[in-house]
Chain A
Amino acid sequence: MNRYPWWKNLLIILVLLFALFYALPNIYGENPALQISKRNAVMDQAAVDRAVAALKAVHIAVKSARVEDKDGLIQFDSTDAQLRAVNIVREALGDEYPVALNLAPAAPRWMLDLGAKPMYLGLDLRGGVHFLMQIDMQSAIKTALERRVDGMRGDLRHANIRYISADVDNDNEIALRFPDTAARDAANKSMAGNYPELVFANEEHNGQPYLTAKFTDAGAMAERKAAVDQNITTLRNRVNELGVAEPLIQQQGDDRIVVELPGIQDTVRAKEIIGATATLEFRLVSGTPTDWIDAQQSGRTPPDSRLYHEKNGQPVLLKRQVIVTGDRITGASSGFDQRSGSPAVFVNLDGQGARRMADITGQNIGKQMGVVFIEHRTETKMVNDKPVKEKKVIEQVINVATIQDQLANRFQITGLDSPNEARDLALLLRAGALRAPMDIVEERTVGPSLGAQNIQAGVNASILGFALVAAFMLVYYRVFGVTAVAALGVNLILIVAVLSLLQATLTLPGIAGMVLTLGIAVDANVLINERIREELRNGLTPQTAIKAGYERAFATIIDSHVTTLLAAVVLFALGAGPVKGFAVTLMIGISASLFTAIMVTRALVNLIYGHRTRLTKISI
């Protein structure tokens, strides 16, 4: 008699239901969608409604439109509609709402709420760009030292200490040359406390007294970390600007950044924007609010002023003379004004910037200063079906505040509405420009058509692989072949379910791993079935042969699975990109086959033969 206890059958049914449920969203597929966010805020329903109204006006059918989490999501029936819609929505909502192309799961809402999502497709299947960017740390350190040399020159002039030269040499060391040792000692004394991240040393070269300074290990590390962090922040902002749904931007190793942009069609544009330069300028405000509105209406501005616009579109007149530009900013952080407790952003300027800031603000206490955000962008637009490059300068006043004190190298910008706004402004200031230059050291771009083609190739190979293996098993093992094929089907569903649940990236090699698993997974059934045949030949009754076959094959199956699993685990640990995808599906498939090939087939065999007391023949 071969019967499973009720709980084993229940377990199998539960696992099967679980697998079916989490694999199901893949059947529904995904709808092309637009993901709309609001800059520095949570998306509002009104904007979604405006977008939908604009789409209705040009007869583009909208499948659904709602605010989900923090973003608005508009779904369409076809990619064609989605691509036509994106420009219309961008125009309707304006710059404040970045619009990204996305794919939204088409499964019912309640399913998504339970975490059932379709598999996450890798770039080789959905198309997109993968960049690996290397930060030039040597030049990051050099730039950081050069900023400090500027500050030191100012310090020395202020303290009336004579020096001959102040430079950063090729060994990334600051070298200050003095006429005599007395001047050097005075300099050392006056500066040492100001630069805790540097180590100073007295040196003599050709009889000349030098004061040298270089980063402490901790100082250099902080500088490198700041370079990576700031470049990531800048990149993230840029990528949001680009309108990419689900971008991946993360550090890899000490000095590299991975950028993955799924669904990007125009890689040239992607590179342009990632490499774009953005900066800040500080200018004095000119005139009063009534002058500003007059200037906007008449189009005439005072000769020393220019008309700018604030974030909300309000006009502001600023002096043509720039106090300080953004490349003088060495850092920015958000916090609270100590006196009023209102949110503030603290900006650090380098020596030269600080001196200019001090001079000009000292003479203008009580007046207003505007902060202008400037970005030079090259955009490629299609004009008469031909790409035309368009240089664009975006200038926007992000803040106007009253100068309350003379400002120096560190000052605060107040008058912000909320701590969030302060945080975002600080982030924007930091992200204004890349802190250190970057090179693309690896690029993998897959066009959307090739991605679709790869999916089709994977699906075809899976179907053919399954059909071949199944046909072979059915002919060869008959009823026991049926159980093995059923188990193989469950195995495939389990792989899809686990991949969907983990949201592990499915790549083309990943599909290859799945197909390979089909071939390897039946090995367990082959082992079992051959063993049963053998036991039958040895004269055991069918019932005992089934029992003995399953039990004796078990140890061999475990051993042989462990070896393949071992290879897969190492591949996963040491592999890169697409190879990881192969390892993941192989690992899941091999593990799942332990369950399906042994438990599921046994349950089926028990169901078919287990209850027959006088079983004389089995179909194997």
Chain B
Amino acid sequence: MLNLFPYDAKFDFFGKRYYAYGLSLILLIASIVSLSTKGINMGLDFTGGVVIEVGYTKAANLDAIRDVLKKNAFPEAVVQYFGSSESVMIRLPPAKTGNQNQLADHVLGVLKTEDAGVTMRRVEYVGPAVGKELFNSGGLAMLVVLSGLLIFVSLRYQLKMATGAVLTLSHDLIMVFGFISITGIEFNLTVLAAYLALAGYSINDMIVVFDRMRENFRKIRKGTEIEIMNISVNQTMSRTVMTALTTFLSVLALYVFGGETLHGFSLTLLVGIILGTFSSIYVASSLSLDLGLKRSDLLKMTDKEKLVDTAP
């Protein structure tokens, strides 16, 4: 039998939780410092503007492209490679005046004077008003998901656990944003989607642990809260590691093959999976313990749960 985590382990997760808090704190501070100094590289979806991806038949000369754009009334253009040296991304801020929707065509015209072989691969133009709306609906989606999860966990489990879960999600949120800030990943709708999927994944992880804690609190009559929680985490550790691994592997495939468009998305997920696994054990459970979670909180059984529990 192959297993990643010894089944008879009696690792003292919660006795060492203060180290974990320390690590969390350091990461949180690093995230907040980066967020407040460097900020987030907001993507086109939220800021508005124009992104043009063009393809060249040979490796493109970025300096020449910058030069020709500067000479032709696009001094503010950001020019960079996109995935390969034959593919170039040009980003322009939303124009204050003028005919915005012709911008991309003008840019392509200008680029053609430098290299006639250039082809248009992708154009994205988002007006400033639309950007603001997408930003708002993105924020709303985040709020709705987080509060929905809070309600679900407090209904199914216990308020202290739900509070722990939401604090964990906020903790993850700040760290994911910190990561996005430090690495300079462009934060767009797809990355937001990755974060929301992570929130679901992270809660999923917590629930498995919570579920086992509830079961053990009812089954094991002796032992302190810390002991029982340690037993529960040790018991579910194999599953936690295993699921984290399979999810990580599938996202890794996206990172390797998904192309430049999904780069930020999959990178956010990869980091988020590690973070979520760590925080579901250390932050969520530890916090609910320190919030004063007692055996008695979990002993109230509904009729339905009694039925499930008496099943052989």
Contact = CB atoms under 8 A, between A and B. Distances in A.
Interface in A480-516: 508-509, 512-513, 515-516
B202 to A, nearest CB: 9
Contacts of A573: 141
Contacts of A527: 208, 239, 243
Interface residues of B, number: 76
A457 interface: yes
A508 B263 CA distance: 12
B137 interface: yes
A339 interface: no
Interface string A533-549: 11001000000100110
A551 to B, nearest CB: 5
A292 to B, nearest CB: 43
B208 A449 contact: no
B141 A571 contact: yes
6 contacts: A439-B127, A461-B254, A469-B250, A508-B262, A523-B246, A566-B148
B105 to A, nearest CB: 6
Interface string B237-253: 01100110111111111
A567 interface: yes
Contact of B141 (A132, A473, A570): A570
B97 to A, nearest CB: 13
Interface of A: 124, 132, 134, 267-268, 271, 439-447, 449-450, 453-454, 457-458, 460-465, 468-469, 472-473, 475-476, 508-509, 512-513, 515-516, 518-520, 522-523, 526-527, 530, 533-534, 537, 544, 547-548, 551-552, 555-556, 559-568, 570-571, 573-579, 582-583, 586, 620
A257 to B, nearest CB: 13
B127 A464 contact: no
B203 A516 contact: no
Contact of B126 (A442, A475, A586): A442
A90 B205 CA distance: 59
Contacts of B85: none
B70 interface: no
A476 B239 CA distance: 12
The 9 closest A-B pairs by CB, nearest first: A519-B250, A567-B200, A519-B247, A465-B253, A441-B127, A440-B101, A564-B200, A464-B253, A460-B257
B261 interface: yes
A444 B199 CA distance: 28
Contacts of A440: 100-101, 125, 127
A44 B14 CA distance: 78
B196 A570 contact: yes
Given A440-B100, A472-B249, A527-B208, A464 B257 contact: yes
A445 B124 contact: yes
A567 B123 contact: no
Contacts of B245: 472
B101 A564 contact: no
Given A445-B120, A568-B200, A563 B152 contact: yes
B257 A575 contact: no
B9 interface: no
A447 B197 contact: no
Interface stretch (B30-38, B187-195, B288-296): B187-195
A531 to B, nearest CB: 8
A145 to B, nearest CB: 25
B7 A533 contact: yes
B266 interface: yes
A448 to B, nearest CB: 10
Given A444-B123, A574-B144, A563 B249 contact: no
A134 B101 CA distance: 12
Contact of B259 (A454, A513, A582): A454
Contact of B190 (A450, A457, A515, A579): A579
Contacts of B127: 134, 439-442
A476 B242 contact: yes
Interface string B42-64: 00000000000101000000000
Contacts of A534: 7, 235
A441 B134 CA distance: 12
B211 interface: yes
A583 B144 CA distance: 15
Contacts of A442: 125-127, 130
B253 A447 contact: no
B259 A509 contact: no
B182 to A, nearest CB: 23
Interface in B128-174: 129-130, 134, 137-138, 140-141, 144-145, 148-149, 152, 156
Nearest to B139: A574
A228 to B, nearest CB: 17
A333 B291 CA distance: 70
B125 A447 contact: no
Nearest to B256: A464
A571 B197 CA distance: 9
Contacts of B123: 267, 443-445
A567 B200 CA distance: 6
A271 B193 CA distance: 31
B141 A574 contact: yes
A570 B129 CA distance: 23
B204 A560 contact: yes
B104 interface: yes
A43 to B, nearest CB: 34
B73 interface: no
Contact of A509 (B100, B203, B211, B265): B265
A523 B120 contact: no
A565 B201 CA distance: 10
B120 A468 contact: no
B207 A560 contact: yes
A526 B246 contact: yes
A522 B258 contact: no
Given A468-B252, A527-B239, 9 more contacts: A134-B127, A440-B100, A443-B123, A519-B243, A559-B207, A563-B200, A568-B197, A575-B193, A583-B193
Contacts of A582: 190, 193, 197
B192 to A, nearest CB: 7
Interface centre among B55, B122, B247, B250 (most CB of A within 10 A): B250
Contacts of A473: 246
A453 B260 CA distance: 11
B312 interface: yes
B119 interface: yes
A458 B55 CA distance: 20
B2 interface: yes
Nearest to A572: B141
Nearest to A476: B2
B1 interface: yes
Contacts of B121: 446-447, 449-450
Contacts of A444: 122-125
Contacts of B192: 579
B269 interface: yes
B144 A570 contact: yes
B258 A469 contact: no
A475 B4 CA distance: 12
Given A450-B53, A582-B190, A441 B242 contact: no
A526 B243 contact: yes
B220 interface: no
A482 B312 CA distance: 26
B269 A575 contact: no
Given A512-B254, A551-B311, A567-B200, A575 B246 contact: no
A582 B188 CA distance: 14
Contacts of A552: 311
